[in-house]
Amino acid sequence: MHNLLEFRNLRKSFAGPGEGDEKRLLFDRVSAAVEPADRIALLGASGQGKSTLLRILARLDVMDAGELLLNGTSARAVDPRIWRKDVGYVAQHAVMLPGTVEDNLRTVSMLHGTPYDRGLAGRLLDRMGLVELDVRKQASDLSGGEKQRVSLIRSLLLRPKALLLDEITASLDRSGRENVERALQDWNRREGTALVWVTHDLEQARTVSRRTWFMAGGTLLEDAPTESFFREPRTAEGRMFASSGKTGEGR
Ligand SMILES: Nc1ncnc2c1ncn2[C@@H]1O[C@H](COP(=O)(O)OP(=O)(O)OP(=O)(O)O)[C@@H](O)[C@H]1O
Ligand SMILES: [Mg+2]
């Protein structure tokens, strides 16, 4: 049996701002695996490269070095568009396509050649607390929190095997956030979709995840069951980070 997603020794650097500037190393030796139906929280201070790592896993960005595999097949052997049918990414800042909400929900199905399931779209809108939303509305007119949920539903409709979630509840109020958390937990149980969830909300991390990946010091420093990461982090950086949210910051 292969892992659903596996990566070994990923390295990523970015060019400096000026011409001829040295490249800046963002992270190195980043290794971990995602199993089917996993629920993983990806934590770490701002700027550690959480979004960049998710984008590399979704083949929206390229790594400098390392090995990335989907069901045991190297990324080098799979077209990124095919890869992204199995590995979905929901961005930190939702981007709406032109047209109505329904156009947005349909477009991705069309691009991937899969049928549009209007009933499921309706049920998901309901579950995400968007029961009042008129799908004939222009997507560009939605609020930030509405856009985030529509873009999440757009990704769920493709039924990826792994879904990479980048701070998707950042612009939601408490009830919106709880709706999304519950809907995704149910979806994970029913569909077996693996979730990798970036969040700065440590209470949310504890609620939604089974494992925690913690990025610090230019690498993936800890990979542990969520309960043991919060109870007893292995590193000084992990201890400092885990205790900073004990009061349930942001709730
Ligand atoms: N295309 C790019 N070119 C140059 N630098 C970049 C690029 N993309 C990201 N970076 C830099 O890489 C670093 C990590 O960015 P990233 O967005 O992955 O961090 P993050 O952990 O998701 O942070 P946050 O928690 O604030 O979202 C940042 O310093 C960012 O400026
Ligand atoms: Mg980010």
What digits encode the pLDDT tens for the residues 194-236?
999 999 999 999 999 999 999 999 999 999 999 999 999 999 9
Query: Which atom number of ligand 1 is nearest to the Cα of residue 55?
Result: 18
| Least confident stretch, 80-84, 113-117, 163-167 | 113-117
What Å distances lie between residue 58 and 7, 75, 88, 124, 129, CA to CA? 12, 10, 7, 23, 27
- The structural domains of the chain, ordered by start, are 5-244 (3.40.50.300)
- What's the CA-to-centroid distance between 208 and ligand 1, angstroms? 24
d(CA 248, CA 38) in angstroms, rounded, equals 24
Q: Average model confidence (pLDDT) for the chain?
A: 93
Residues with CB under 6 A from ligand 1: 14, 26, 44, 46-52
Q: For 102-133, how does the pLDDT look when each residue is reduced to its tens digit (9 = 90+)?
A: 999 998 888 878 889 999 999 999 999 999 99
- What's the CA-to-centroid distance between 48 and ligand 1, angstroms? 7
Contact criterion met (CB below 8 Å) for 213 and 43: yes
H helices then E strands: how many in the chain?
A: 9, 10
Contact criterion met (CB below 8 Å) for 56 and 196: no
- What's the CA-to-centroid distance between 52 and ligand 2, angstroms? 7
Nearest bound ligand to CA 43? 1
Contact criterion met (CB below 8 Å) for 195 and 165: yes
Q: Is 209 helix (H, G, I), strand (E, B) or coil?
A: coil
- What's the CA-to-centroid distance between 87 and ligand 2, angstroms? 18
d(CA 151, CA 167) in angstroms, rounded, equals 12
Q: Give the per-residue pLDDT at 92.
A: 85
| pLDDT at 36 > cutoff 80 | yes
- Torsion sign across C-alpha atoms 209, 214, 215, 216: positive
- Residue of 21, 26, 57 best suited for mutating to test ligand 1, as the one with most atoms within 8 Å of CB: 26
| pLDDT at 182 > cutoff 90 | yes
